[in-house]
Amino acid sequence: MKVLVTRELPPSTQKFLEEQSLELIQWKKDCAMPRDELLNSVKGVDAIFCLLTDKIDKTLLDAAGPQLKVVSTMSVGFDHLDIDELKARNIQMGYTPDCLTDATADLTILLLLSAARRIKEGIRAAEQGEWREWRPNWLLGTQFSGKTLGVVGLGRIGQAVAHRLKAFGITRILYYGRSRKLQAETDIGAEFSSFDDLLKHSDYITICSALTPETQDMFDYTAFSKMKPTAVFVNTSRGGVVKQDDLVRALEDGKVGAVGLDVCTPEPLPTDHKLYQFSNCIVLPHIGSATLETREKMASMALDNILAVINGQPIPFGI
């Protein structure tokens, strides 16, 4: 079986991959496989192991040919896959749910805390000699105790974030999404809310939903204008959920208190982008799942999907 793997994998899974008796085509450089390279290499393969940086669309599937059996992405998000096109061709699809929940929820908390406690300004001040004597009114942030959290998309990651923040003293959890999550309502006391009410009442707002046509550009200037001007806003899902120019305008107009982003549009965000210039906006380079444990698990799950399908077994983590 001929398998295309679009990047070098974390060490244990890479070793395991090389032990398989497969005809392996692998892009081993530490950068995304260029599109023309991808289109050339995909010809005649039975399986594609891809990342969120690889667009799996009609052109690529045409280039691959009709023998292609499975596409497995080393990610929980799959907005880079053309699901309708894959379904129409009966190609199985795999992804890596659950295993990155803890790592991503941890990073979401890190961003919420860092933005709320003005970490970017604090680090800069310390490094640039602005740290004078202890001052009662310097670099004051906000804390979680007694506050309201708003989660957009109370799936696995959203629930893990809410659960963690309860330990920090959050007293009310509002959530908005496609459907009610009754179990989460019981387990963590989350309250289903309209989008507007969530924006209006939350002190901390975090996006944990997938990028879909419904969530694309959901956070626009109107949404930011409905937030408390002190609200802390964090996005660790996909950049496309936020209308980025509107976020810049909202920051300029003081419509949002502090911002933490692990995802942007485009990625990487060019270094001269305005978002880097705000002292109350932290930008990270999409590292939500970046722990050794999680990346190994993601890679092995994505590989398991491929091995199962090419060996005629049911796909373990199918979309």
> Interface residues with ligand DGY (CB under 6 A)?
52, 75-77, 100, 288-289
Closest CA to 110 of 248, 282, 315, 272: 282
CB of 2 to ligand DGY, least distance (A): 25
Closest CA to 295 of 96, 70, 77: 96
The residues, any chain, with a CB within 8 Å of residue 205's CB and separated by 6 or more, are: 149, 150, 152, 198, 199, 227, 231, 232, 233, 234
CB of 36 to ligand DGY, least distance (A): 25
β partners of residue 206: 151, 234
CB of 210 to ligand DGY, least distance (A): 9
Angle between helices 101-116 and 292-310 (to 10 degrees): 150
- Residue placing its CB nearer to ligand DGY in the complex, 39 or 210: 210
**For residues 291 and 69, is the Cβ–Cβ distance under 8 A?**
no
Which one-letter DSSP state was computed for residue 315? P
Task: Copy the structure tokens of residue 291.
Answer: 């722990």
- HEC secondary structure over 145-205: CCCEEEEECCCHHHHHHHHHHHHCCCCEEEEECCCCCHHHHHHHCEEECCHHHHHHHCCEE
CB of 44 to ligand DGY, least distance (A): 28
**CA 48 to CA 54: how far, in whole Å?**
10
CB of 296 to ligand DGY, least distance (A): 14
- Residue placing its CB nearer to ligand DGY in the complex, 100 or 199: 100
- Residue placing its CB nearer to ligand DGY in the complex, 240 or 257: 240
CB of 263 to ligand DGY, least distance (A): 7
- Helices within the chain (DSSP H only): 11-19, 35-41, 58-64, 83-88, 101-116, 119-127, 156-167, 182-188, 195-201, 221-226, 244-252, 292-310
Active site residues: 286
- Residue placing its CB nearer to ligand DGY in the complex, 147 or 286: 286
Angle between helices 119-127 and 101-116 (to 10 degrees): 60
Angle between helices 292-310 and 11-19 (to 10 degrees): 20
- Residue placing its CB nearer to ligand DGY in the complex, 100 or 264: 100
- Residue placing its CB nearer to ligand DGY in the complex, 52 or 227: 52
